[in-house]
Amino acid sequence: MCRLFGMAGAGASAEHWLLSASNSMRELGRTNPHGTGVGGFVDGAIRLEKSALAAPDDLAFGRQPWLTQSPTLVAHVRDATVSAPGLMDSHPFEMQGRLFAQNGSIGEIHRVEDALGDYERLVHGNTDSERYGALLTRHIDEADGDVEQGIRRTVGWLSDNTPMTAINMVLATPDDLYALRYPHMRTLFWNHVGGGSQAVDGVRRLGAGELGAGRGGVPATVVASEPLDASAGWRALQPGQLLHVRAGDLSEEVVQVIDRAPRRLLDDSFRAGNAPAATH
């Protein structure tokens, strides 16, 4: 099934979530053993490290010295449905200055390949996820760099044209973190740590003087496929919802980007290359 992780918060430590929490990403790597990846940004440039090992066996996982320098992070532990473990197919993927990772499966991936056009140049491996990321990149470009609009177009297109179990994803730039849950078959949670907040026009913002109570003493917003510890702050995104976190002030906004079910769902027995049992 794979597991996603994202974090926004310059200077915040991800060590708890990646390594030491009761349900850390490292621990989730025991049941998602086919590779790891951690990506972020240092001085605006992507830093990305991957391994074909399971997270408990990857001594570098979550220990990169540059992690606290990155305003946003994406991490992933993989349960392969398409190909054997390998660096090329481990998430996250670099897509024109952004980092992208997915949880779920897309069937009839040839339909996505046919829609990529010149953006096929971004695909180097075997996964449906990398092709999904390339299609998303195309739609963002076609929306003149508007990431939310590109996500809306991509989700709508995939919903109309491909069967799926889920297209949950995390997308990061140096300034922003996006997390999507769609449809209902996989969960995605978020948690704000490090002080209270107030909602203004649907956007959650840190109040004055509220810095310093998060993990490592720095506030952050964390996204994960399931709660990583027993703290009470975890909230589930609902199907079709997109969370957008601005790394600079940790403002958070949740919007509904699609309000219909996919035309076709795949059941959990789906593995790419098999004849899937589709439901409607």
Task: Domain ranges for the chain, please list them.
Answer: 3-279
Summarize pLDDT for 188-238 with one digit per residue, the tens. Answer: 999 999 854 433 333 444 332 233 334 457 899 999 999 999 988 999 999
Label residue 254 by pLDDT band (50, 70, 90).
very high
Label residue 267 by pLDDT band (50, 70, 90).
confident
Q: Which amino acid is at 25?
A: M
The CA distances from residue 148 to 141, 144, 241, 267, in Å, are: 11, 11, 11, 28
- Residues constituting the chain: 280
Residue 33's pLDDT is 85
* DSSP element (H, E) containing 239: none
The domain 3-279 is placed in CATH, from the list 3.30.230.10, 3.60.20.10, 3.40.50.620, 3.40.50.300, at 3.60.20.10
The pair of three-digit structure tokens given for residue 49, joined into one six-digit string: 């490290």
Cα(280)–Cα(266) distance, integer angstroms:
9
The pair of three-digit structure tokens given for residue 60, joined into one six-digit string: 């570098």
Residue 243's DSSP bridge partners are 179, 254
Cα(77)–Cα(17) distance, integer angstroms:
13
E-assigned strand segments in 21-141: 36-42, 45-51, 72-77, 93-95, 98-103
- 3 state DSSP class of 128: helix
Residue 229's pLDDT is 95
**Cβ-contact 140, 147 below 8 angstroms:** yes
Overall average pLDDT of the 81-106 stretch:
85
Burial of 36 (0-12, 13-18, 19+ CB in 10 A): buried
Summarize pLDDT for 217-229 with one digit per residue, the tens. Answer: 789 999 999 999 9
Q: Which amino acid is at 265?
A: L
Residue 194's pLDDT is 80
Burial of 56 (0-12, 13-18, 19+ CB in 10 A): middle
